[in-house]
Amino acid sequence: MARFRPGPRGLAALALSLALGGQALAASRCPAIPPRVPLPVEATPTAVPIPDWRQRADQLTRQATARDLSGTRVVFIGDSITQGWEPTMWDLFWGSYAPLNLGLWGDLTQGVLWRLHNGQWPSSLKPDVAVVLIGTNNAGWRSKPEDTALGVAEIVRFIETRSPATKVLILGVLPRGADASAPERPTNAQVTALIRQCADGKTVFFANPGRTMVDGAGRISTNVMFDFLHPTMVGYAILGAAIAEDVRRLAGR
C-alpha cells in the first residue's frame, strides 16, 4: 500500500495547525485574511516589550476573572483609546450592556492576542458583541499593514473559538496626527481597508467611525483628540454616537 505523502500545501497547513495549537484552521471567520506560514509577530500572542506592560496586563486579567461575566453583553477590546473611555460617555452609551473594558494602553495586535490567550477571556464571558479597535500602535512600531490586519483577523478568530455566538464589530483604525500628512495616516488607512474585508454581515461586521472625527480636509481638532490620537470627552461622544446603533442592533436591542 502506497504511503500518503502530503504536498506542499498540506505540509504548510499541518505546520500552521501545530503552531497555533490546532485551532486556527477550524475557525471560519475572516477568510479574506487567512493565516499564513510563518505567522508574523503581529498575529502571534506576544507580550509587548514596554516597561510594566506585563504587570498591567496581569492586573487587567485579575480584574476580568474576579467576577462572573456571564451577564456581560458587550466587551471592548483594544489599546489606550479603548481603556481611556471617558466615564460619563462610557456609562451613557454602554452602561445598560454590563460592559467589559479590555483596553490596555500601549497595546499592539500581538499584545491583545497574548492577553486573550492568557486569561482575559474567561469561560464565563459569552457577550452578544465584541468591539475590536486595535492597530494604531502597530503603525508606530512600523508593522506592515498586512501583518497588522492579520493580527486583527487572528483576534476575531480567537473570539470565535471561545464564544461562537458572539458577533464581532471591527472598527477601522482611527486617524491620527494633526492632518492628512501625518506619517501614520496612510498605514492606518491601509489596515482599515484590509480588515473591512473580514465583515461578512453575519458574524463579523465593520464600522469606520474615524471618518466622523476629522473635518472635510482630514484635520483633527484638539477638541476631538487632545493630542491628535486620544479622544477627549467630545471625541468619545462622537465615537460612541458613530457606533451606538451598530452595537444596539448586534446586541439584539
Residues designated as active site = 80, 227, 230
HSE-up (13 A, CA, CB side) for residue 208 = 14
Residue pair 188/136 in contact (Cβ under 8 Å)? The answer is: yes
Closest CA to 80 of 105, 60, 111: 105
HSE-up (13 A, CA, CB side) for residue 148 = 27
Chain position carrying cell 452602561: 95
Burial of 162 (0-12, 13-18, 19+ CB in 10 A): middle
For residue 105, the tally of other CB atoms under 10 A from its CB is 16
* Separation of alpha carbons 207 and 196, rounded Å: 8
Closest CA to 230 of 57, 112, 83: 83
Cell of 144: 506592515
DSSP state of 72: -
The kind and range of the H/E element at 75 are: strand 74-78
Cell of 83: 481603556
Q: Which residues of 117-151 are buried (b: 16+ CB within 10 A; e: fewer)?
A: eeebbeeebbbbbbbbbbbbbbbeeebebbbbbbb
